[in-house]
Structure formats: C-alpha cells, structure tokens
Structure 1
Amino acid sequence: MARRTLTPATIVDAAVAIAARAEPDGLTGRVLGAELGVDRSAVWRHFKDHDALLRAVGDRLLRMALDAVPARLAPHERMMALARSVVGTFVAHPHVGAAISGRTTQGEGELAMVEFTLQALGEAGVPAEQCARQQRTLADTILGYAGLRASKALLSEEIRQRDQQAWMGTYATVSPQTHPAIARHVTDLAAVTDDDVLESLLAALWAAVRGVIDTVGGVK
C-alpha cells in the first residue's frame, strides 16, 4: 500500500466524505484506511480513540453548517438560518449527525457556533444575563431535532414509507369514540412534513426569545 502523509485534517476530510455517502462504518480504521490508501493503524496515530475522531468529525459538520449561513442577515434571520443549516448538514451526514447530536465536540467549530449565537442574541436585544440560557436552549433543541432527522435518514426507504403510511393506516382506523381527536385530525396529521415541524419549532423558539427581549423593550 502506498505511503501517504496524514494529518488530523485529512483524516476528518475522508470521514466527512464517507459520512456524506451514508456509509455505516465511516469512522473505523478499516474504512478510513481504504478511503485514504493507508494502513488502518495510521488513523489512530492522530486520534486517541474512536470518540476523539467522532468529536472531530462532528465539529467539522458544525463548522460546515456555520459557513453555509449567508452573510449580512439580521440577528433573528441569522440564527434561524443557522438552525436550518445544522439540520440539513446532519441529515446529509446521517451516521455522524445522529451520533454527535447529544455531544459537545469541544472543537473550534463548536466554539465558533456558540460565539455566533451569543453575538446574534445580544444584537437582537436579549439581556446579557439571559444570553447563555437562551443560547443553550436554542442549541440543545436544534441539535436534538437535527439528531432525530439524521436518525430518520438512516432508515431504509421501505421503513420510512411504512412509518409515513401509518398515518393513513393504523391512525385512520381508530374509533372516533375512543380517540375522537385523532379521528378528527388524522388527515391533517398525515399531511405534516418534517420541514413543517422544523419551521414550527423555529417559530416557537424565536417566540420564546422574543418574549425575553420584550421584557426589556424592542425586537431587532
């Protein structure tokens, strides 16, 4: 096998490329070694263990999501664009997205994202003593939803279709006597998309932030 000079960055590059193909074992030495054209043991000279590699790749995904946010947006639009970008990036790299959503990467990407959000919240008018709480609420909620969407993206097309069809299958057959609310709303439930849920979630999150801002006057 030809020798190749490796760095942590080139290994993460390879892992992200594998993750974008939704390959299940992209963070193993065997798969990364094959991708990079090196012996599998070479990977672990740069990362202490699998968890360190996972956090590095997850941190890269956060950086990618942040870099995709358009410039010159108002604070509210900036935060909402970041949220959509995180969800999209995690879904596009589902194995890593699902695995990292409940973790802290402790890397530069995460630091940049926290800084970005805190600055936007401050510019929007959130009082300083509330910025940390609002940032954590936004981050934990969006990362949790992004992880859910990434997990769904890992399901086979057959399973996804079966789950979707349940709304007009199992749910459509419930008795109006025992489950009147479901019977009344079953068609509407079936019509709700993942993006509908995301937009409602973002609206609710911003409404909470706006409530904090309104206590000190003015929404930017």
Structure 2
Amino acid sequence: MVERVVPEGLRRRRRPTKQGAVLSERLIIETALRLVGEHGADALSVRRLGAALGSDPSSLYRYFRNTDDLLLALADEFVGRAQEGWRATGDWRADLRDMGLRIHAVYLANPQVALLAAHRTTGRAHETAAVEKILGILRRAGFPDTTAVPLYHAFVDQALAFAALDAAALALPEPARVADEEVWRASYGRLPPETHPNIAATFPLLAADMRGSGYPFALDLMLDAAAARLP
C-alpha cells in the first residue's frame, strides 16, 4: 500500500461490495481479524483482503496507508476490546487485576493476531484511553508519579509478554502443541528422584500447573510488590 488515505468524511463507498456490504474501516478490521485468525500472518495482504471483501484491493487505500497501518488498527482494536465493560471500583488492586486479565484474555482469544500485534504501540484512541485509565488507577491509589510510571510500564509489559507467549503456544499446529504438552508426562514424569529429587517430589503439581498460563499468579506477585511500594 502507499500513503494516500482519504479523509474520514470522504471515505464512504457509493456502491456496496460484491457481498452486498458497504466498505468501511470497521468492516476491513473485522475481515482482517478473521483472515489472520484463520490463515495466519500471510493473510494480512491487500490482495487477500480485497478478495475477502469482494472489493478492488486499491479501495483499501482509502482507509489505511499500508498494511502496517492496518496492523496498528488491529492492535488498537484488541486494546479496545479489553476495555469493553470495564468499570473502576475504586480498589486499585482489583481494578488493575481485572484490566490485566482482560488484556491477556483478548489476545489469547485471537492468538494469530496476538503474535503480530502484542508488541506494537499504536498511539490510537483505545490505547491512549487505556494508558490514561491505568495511570489514573495508580495515581489515585497514592503512588507518586515516579513510582506510578514504572509500575504502569511493568504492568503493561507483563500482560503483553504473557499474552504473546501464551498466544504463541496456542498458535502452534495441533500436533506440535499436543507434543509439547505431552513432554511433561512423558519426560519429566519419568525422571527418578535419585537424579532429580525436586522434580520427582513436585511432579503432580508441576504437570498440572504447566497446563495453564502462569500469568494470573505472576500478576498477583507484581501487585503484591506494587502494594509494598505504596506510601
């Protein structure tokens, strides 16, 4: 794509696409999410999007400068979805925990897109709203700005890092994912206490815990550490 985005007020397509829908930024984003979810990163192309929309690929230029611009829109869409229905309770710890779990869950619901978008900074409306909310939670709780800012940084990076890690596991082909899960039983479960006493002693707990994400526990650890820094 090239940089020739049409101003928002002039974007509306006069005729519907071959599928009978009027082309819009929302329709493009939803179609891109579906394609990447079904086919992976290679689906994020002008040609494939145009075919899926029943529209001339060049019409996408009216909405996005290039495919990276579209990817940033997808990343911002995820941040927006994480905030849907969220309400502050006044309990800073509960509010942050809820926000973190929402972010993590949204990315895991769309693992193929998460691999492309979790590390991006969009500067768009949903992201800036989330930054404002999280900083507001920390500042209202009484954290000084010199503490609130690095706490915000650690909180967001932790949520997105776990989201990317867990999404990568979910995005594996089914045989590879099953094989990875089987390693805990087939390999670790057979290690003798004579050579690996700690693994042998904890194996039932270890095998059960490793089936899920470590994020909720890590999030609680981070919130415990944050509470210790509250004046």
Q: Same fold (TM over 0.5)?
A: yes
Picking from 139, 144, 148, the partner of 2:165 is 148
The CA distance in 2 between the partners of 1:164 and 1:152, in whole Å, is 10
Q: 2:137 is matched with which residue?
A: 120
The CA distance in 1 between the partners of 2:93 and 2:47, in whole Å, is 44
Number of residue pairs matched?
213
> Per-residue deviation at 1:154?
0.7
Match of 2:98 in 1: 81
Matches within 5 A, 1:63-142: 63-70=80-87, 72=89, 74-142=91-159
TM-score (norm 1): 0.86
TM-score (normalizing by structure 2) = 0.82
Deviates more, 1:184-193 or 1:113-122: 184-193
Distance 1:162 1:101 in 2: 25
Instruction: Please say if residues 78 and 120 of structure 1, whose CA atoms lie closer than 8 Å, have aligned partners that are also in contact.
Output: yes
Range 134-143 or range 99-108, more displaced: 99-108
Aligned-pair CA distance for 1:80? 0.9
Could you tell me which of 11, 22, 27 is aligned with 2:44?
Answer: 27
Q: Encode CA deviations 1:55-108: one digit per residue, 9 max, x unaligned.
A: 111111111111142454622212111111111111111111111112212211
Provide the alpha-carbon RMSD of the alignment.
Answer: 2.2
> Which residue of 2 is the match for residue 161 of structure 1?
178
Higher deviation after alignment, 147-156 or 170-179 = 170-179
**Where do 4+ consecutive residues of structure 1 move more than 6 Å?**
none
Conserved? CA contact 2:181–2:211, under 8 Å:
no
What does residue 177 of structure 1 align with?
A: 194
Distance between the aligned counterparts of 2:181 and 2:87, measured in 1?
33
Does residue 57 of structure 1 match 2:74?
yes
Q: Do the aligned partners of 1:87 and 1:142 also contact (CA within 8 Å) in 2?
A: yes
| Stretch deviating more after TM superposition (163-172 or 176-185) | 176-185
* Structure-1 residue corresponding to 2:5: none
Residue identity over aligned pairs, in percent, reads 28
The CA distance in 1 between the partners of 2:56 and 2:153, in whole Å, is 41
Partner Cα separation in structure 2 for residue 162 and residue 68 of structure 1: 37
Task: Show the 5 A alignment for 1:8-27.
Answer: 8-19=25-36, 21-24=37-40, 25-27=42-44
* DSSP-derived class of the 2:44 partner: coil
Q: Could you tell me which runs of 5 or more consecutive residues in structure 2 were left unpaired when the two chains were aligned.
A: 1-16
Q: Specify the SS of the correspondent of 1:97.
A: helix
- Corresponding position of 2:10: none
**Structure 1, residues 91-135: CA drift from partner, whole Å, max 9, x if none?**
111111111112212211111111111011112221222111100
